[in-house]
Amino acid sequence: TAEASPAPAAAKKVNPNAPTEETVLEVKHYTDRLFRFRLTRPSTFRFRSGEFVMIGLYKDDGRPLLRAYSIASPSWDEELEFYSIKVADGPLTSRLQKIQPGDKVLLGKKPTGTLVHDALVPGKRLYCFSTGTGFAPFASVVRDPETYEKFDEVIVTHTCREAAELEYSKEIVEETLNHEFLGELAQGKLRRYGSCTREDYEYKGRITTLIETGKLFEDLNVPPLNPETDRVMICGSMEMIQDVKDLMLKAGLTEGSNAAPAEFVIEKAFAG
């Protein structure tokens, strides 16, 4: 009959963990080194806001080339958003930066990560400290209603070398505050603190310096870090994470994980 199943020899071996092919819906370039894109989301793809997943493209030899990327969209979003660096000779980003709506991007099946509410114990104030593309997981966290159910105050810092590199975080926070549903939850709670290290901006300097001198807390008009009330998520380069982590330990906060939630969590920003 027409419905006959294929002969066993012809049956393709299906790897249940193989990435799926998703369609590019939108691409926006911020600088010659930074862009964001949105993909279709399979209905079976589940993740917690703040997690990362493998994404990539097929190489010329037909094999997949995958890298870890933080998911920048919140878990309720029907689409998936990513924020990426562009590296001219980067194996993946040299090609990824050229994607157009309608193109296909590979999406892994196992999102994971520690920049999630599950890894923090309850608190009053949430700090999200980021540098560079380390803002990406926080674009997810600040757009998740759970963040405002769990915290009275949400302070997201983003530090880059130049002002143009801060555009994405500015846009996300403004969008969130003006969003028809999220706006109501986020208004009066969500604040963004942007700083530049190599150009004039509203605020200047490394986040580590701003914490150490207390200028961050003065500018925001909040008390110094307190393990009783404050919870922290950190995402940036390895050096930035280590330096901010040291300051958290000095302030008496304990590092948490999915298995043992505590007062701060870290993850390195994935890049090119």
Query: Which residues of the chain form contacts with ligand A2P (CB under 6 A)?
Result: 131-132, 159-161, 197-198, 206-208, 237, 239-240, 243
Nearer to ligand A2P, 93 or 159 (CB): 159
Minimum distance of ligand A2P from residue 179's CB (angstroms): 28
Minimum distance of ligand A2P from residue 87's CB (angstroms): 12
What the block records as the tokens of 156 is 């997201």
Minimum distance of ligand A2P from residue 240's CB (angstroms): 4
DSSP structural state of residue 223? P
Minimum distance of ligand A2P from residue 156's CB (angstroms): 15
Nearer to ligand A2P, 123 or 132 (CB): 132
Helix (H) or strand (E) holding 147: helix 145-150
Minimum distance of ligand A2P from residue 161's CB (angstroms): 5
Closest Cα to residue 25, out of 9, 17, 37, 36? 37
What the block records as the tokens of 23 is 């369609």
Nearer to ligand A2P, 124 or 250 (CB): 250
Nearer to ligand A2P, 113 or 132 (CB): 132
Residue 213 CB burial class (10 angstroms; 0-12, 13-18, ≥19): exposed
Minimum distance of ligand A2P from residue 237's CB (angstroms): 5
**Cα dist from 182 to 76, 78, 103, 158, whole Å:** 12, 15, 30, 21
Nearest 5°: the CA angle 152, 236, 249 is 65
What the block records as the tokens of 6 is 């294929």
Nearer to ligand A2P, 118 or 239 (CB): 239
Contact, 189 vs 152, CB < 8 A? Answer: yes
Nearer to ligand A2P, 170 or 206 (CB): 206
User: Beta-carbon neighbour count of residue 233 at 10 Å?
Assistant: 26
**Distance between CA atoms of residues 107 and 18, nearest Å:** 9
Minimum distance of ligand A2P from residue 241's CB (angstroms): 8
Nearer to ligand A2P, 132 or 256 (CB): 132
Q: β-strand 203-204 against 20-31: which pairing, if any?
A: unpaired
Which residues have C-beta within 8 Å of that of residue 73, sequence separation ≥ 6? 38, 79, 80, 81, 139, 140, 143
